[in-house]
C-alpha cells in the first residue's frame, strides 16, 4: 500500500478525460470553463458532462472589462446545476478590473453558501476568504521558502499547491528566468543525444542536467514521479492539506503516486 502523500489530492481534468480520471477515485477539478466577454461563463463541449467536484474557470485572454456580479451569479447557478462543491479562479498573472473583483466576490459568495473557493496567486490579496494556489514549478530559489512565504503572507491554512509536471530548457545565462517548454519526447531526445548525467536539486525539488550545443550552455529542469512525490511530501510537512495534479500531464505517473480505490 502506498503512503498517502497529501490529505487531499485533486485531479485537474481536461475536457474528454473525465472517465479515465474518475477511475482513480479522487476529487476532480473540471478544466472546461472560461471567462468570456461580458463577462459571461462559457463551458467547453464534452462527451461526458461534469458532475460534482470543482469548477475551474480559466481567465486567460479575457480583456478585463465589464461588471463581475452577473458573472458570479452565472457561476453559482452552474455550481447548483452540476452539484459542484466549489470554484477555482485560474486567472493568470496579476488580474485587474472585472477578473480581480470577480475573484474577490466569488470568495465571499462561496463562503456564504458553504462552497470552497480557490484563487490563483495574483488574486490572493483581493480574496481573503479564498484559498490561494501556489504553483510548485521554480527556475530558481527554494520551493520550501516559497511555500513558507506564501503561508506567512496569506495564512497557514489558506495555501494549496498546484504540482506541475514541468520540463524546460534554459539558456545559460538565463537573464529572464524563463525557459523553453519541452514535451516528454523532446526531453528524452535531449538526454539521449547529449548523454548528460541527471542530478536532483533539493532546493527546486526537481531533476536537472546540463549540456552544450556548440558554444551555448543549456540547463534542463524537469519533473518525474519521484520529484512530484517529494514536492507533495514537502507541502504536507508544512501543513498544506490540498494539492492539485493536472491529470493530462501526470496520468502516466499516477500509478507511482496514487493507489486506485
Cα R_g (the chain), whole angstroms: 19
**What pLDDT score was predicted for residue 46?**
80
**What pLDDT score was predicted for residue 95?**
80
**What pLDDT score was predicted for residue 231?**
97
**What pLDDT score was predicted for residue 63?**
74
**What pLDDT score was predicted for residue 45?**
85
Q: Are 158 and 149 in contact (CB under 8 A)?
A: no
**What pLDDT score was predicted for residue 107?**
95
The single residue listed with the C-alpha cell 546540463 is 210
**What pLDDT score was predicted for residue 3?**
60
pLDDT beneath 70, residues of the chain: 1-3, 64
**What pLDDT score was predicted for residue 174?**
81
- CA-to-CA distance for 215 and 137, rounded, in angstroms? 28
Amino acid at each position: 500500500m502506498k503512503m498517502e502523500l497529501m490529505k487531499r489530492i485533486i485531479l485537474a481534468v481536461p475536457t474528454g478525460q473525465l472517465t479515465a480520471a474518475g477511475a482513480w477515485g479522487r476529487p476532480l477539478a473540471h478544466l472546461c470553463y472560461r471567462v468570456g466577454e461580458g463577462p459571461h461563463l462559457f463551458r467547453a463541449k464534452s462527451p461526458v458532462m461534469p458532475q460534482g467536484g470543482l469548477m475551474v474557470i480559466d481567465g486567460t485572454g479575457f480583456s478585463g472589462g465589464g461588471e463581475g456580479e452577473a458573472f458570479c451569479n452565472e457561476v453559482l447557478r452552474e455550481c447548483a446545476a452540476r452539484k459542484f462543491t466549489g470554484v477555482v479562479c485560474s486567472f493568470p498573472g496579476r488580474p485587474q478590473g472585472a477578473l480581480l473583483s470577480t475573484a474577490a466576490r466569488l470568495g465571499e459568495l462561496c463562503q456564504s453558501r458553504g462552497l470552497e473557493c480557490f484563487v490563483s496567486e495574483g488574486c490572493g490579496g483581493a480574496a481573503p476568504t479564498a484559498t490561494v494556489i501556489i504553483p510548485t514549478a521554480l527556475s530558481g530559489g527554494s520551493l520550501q521558502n516559497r511555500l513558507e512565504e506564501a503561508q506567512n503572507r496569506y495564512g497557514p491554512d489558506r495555501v494549496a499547491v498546484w504540482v506541475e509536471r514541468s520540463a524546460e530548457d534554459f539558456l545559460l545565462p538565463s537573464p529572464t528566468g524563463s525557459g523553453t517548454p519541452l514535451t516528454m519526447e523532446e526531453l528524452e531526445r535531449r538526454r539521449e543525444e547529449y548523454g548528460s548525467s541527471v542530478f536532483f536539486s533539493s532546493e527546486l525539488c526537481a531533476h536537472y542536467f546540463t549540456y552544450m550545443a556548440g558554444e551555448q550552455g543549456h540547463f534542463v529542469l524537469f519533473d518525474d514521479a519521484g520529484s512530484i512525490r517529494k514536492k507533495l511530501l514537502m507541502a504536507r510537512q508544512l501543513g498544506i492539506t490540498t494539492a492539485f495534479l493536472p491529470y493530462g500531464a501526470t496520468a502516466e505517473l499516477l500509478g507511482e503516486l496514487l493507489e486506485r480505490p
